[in-house]
Structure 1
């Protein structure tokens, strides 16, 4: 109650109380670089995220509450031993912070990885990252993938672990770019979306975003980032997670 009263007074007076100047959301983004992702698709994914972060509406959402910034970490995943941090935790205070992250993504080159798809391991990596920012009002794992798990722990088992951590997991499902019969392609995306919905996502308002292919990844990521960031602005300064003692 005291925390709510302070937040309400801060809104009336037009400033955030110093003791509440913390991150409003920790957002970890896991990018699929498994064997099913070729060099061109890898580039579309990295550049697509870089561009999505700089989209005007996304940038505005990221910078909407300077007193309690969003913090971002980005990693890539493939087989059980192929998890790699691309961007460590970084608080977003200005557009230059976003530009710095985008520059890192555009300059990232693909390294050799195993052909496996260790989706469960990728989820666990995201969870461990987010627990480093447990003081944030909301913890969100944003995981992209173009296929089902074929190595490592089962995603549904890791999802059950994550449920106990107060973390929301959202997914971006990517369809195949190769030319296919339209109906067949839609069926494949629908099936993969159902798999992620049943085994991966969890938490309040968790959702699955779809991209018809890597060429559509940037647009899908823009929509996903806007949806994940909306609501955590001045109109809703009350934390969505209870304060830690």
Structure 2
């Protein structure tokens, strides 16, 4: 239930060696086939290893990015695939990509509980490093269809210091990108990127990660991120 998520704090606001905690949330609900899961998993691993993404993720002035990933579907079906790892060098990035690439398909036959997934994300961020900023990447191929919607979670105040960005996989649900913009994206500078089907996931994810990391660089330089929907 939603109340269970309200006990989690969201970390200290103090300055930290971690400049960004980035949590990736991947849809594995019943609409995702084995082949589509593989395209998501491999696309994520390749995006993490993309040279431009790597360059943006490596430490700046001793401050690094921390990364974690979990899979979500129904209200009680969330599985951590990559626990928090500090991206302090190329070896850490390679370790993260290899861990993602080896993830088995959860083979879930459950619905799409976006609200519950966001609650799990808040709880997972509470176990992450002390950081300057928190961002969540939510990717999926359909709207919420189980229990409470994202707006219910956002109304709790748990996400006041968190930016939620979306990657809408336009495959089965017409207008999903607009749904993600309206219902999922949250916080200053939040944005949504579209993937034109699962075969386009790798490109879209690399673009999304690069954009998020470049916004952190702008913030480090004293420039506010541009708000783009």
* Band of TM-score, shorter chain: 0.7 to 0.9
Q: Which residue of 2 aligns with 1:80?
A: 75
Q: Structure 2 regions of 5+ residues with no counterpart?
A: 1-13, 225-229
Question: Measured at CA, do residues 162 and 60 of structure 1 come closer, stay the same or move farther in structure 2, by a change above 3 Å?
Answer: farther
1:207 aligns with 2:187: no
1:72-221 → structure 2 map (5 Å cutoff): 72-133=67-128, 135-161=130-156, 164-176=159-171, 188=174, 191-221=175-205
Q: Distance in 2 between matches of 1:40 and 1:152?
A: 28
Larger Cα-atom Rg = 1
Q: Measure how far apart 1:87 and its partner are.
A: 0.5
| Residue number in structure 2 paired with 1:28 | 23
C-alpha separation between the residues in 2 aligned to 1:235 and 1:131?
23
Label 1:207 to 1:83 Cα distance change in 2 as closer, same or farther (>3 A). same
State which of 26, 33, 44 in structure 1 corresponds to 2:39: 44
Taking the aligned partners of 2:15 and 2:185, their CA distance within structure 1 comes to 29
- TM-score, normalized by length of structure 2? 0.85
Name the Cα RMSD after superposition.
2.3
CA distance in 2, matches of 1:111, 1:215: 20
Of Structure 1 and Structure 2, the greater helix share is in 1
**Higher strand share goes to which structure?**
2
Per-residue CA deviation, residues 61-82 of structure 1 (Å, 9 max, x unaligned), is: 0014151100001000011111
CA drift of 1:159 comes to: 2.5
Secondary structure at the aligned position of 1:98 is classed as helix
- Between Structure 1 and Structure 2, how many residues are aligned? 211
Q: Compute the TM-score of the two structures, normalised by the length of structure 1.
A: 0.80
Q: Which runs of 4+ in 1 moved over 4 A?
A: 237-240
**Separation in 2 of the partners of 1:149 and 1:136?**
30
Does residue 187 of structure 2 align to residue 224 of structure 1?
A: no
> Unaligned 5+ residue runs, structure 1?
1-18, 178-184, 241-245
Q: Distance in 2 between matches of 1:25 and 1:131?
A: 14
Which is worse superposed, 63-72 or 231-240?
A: 231-240
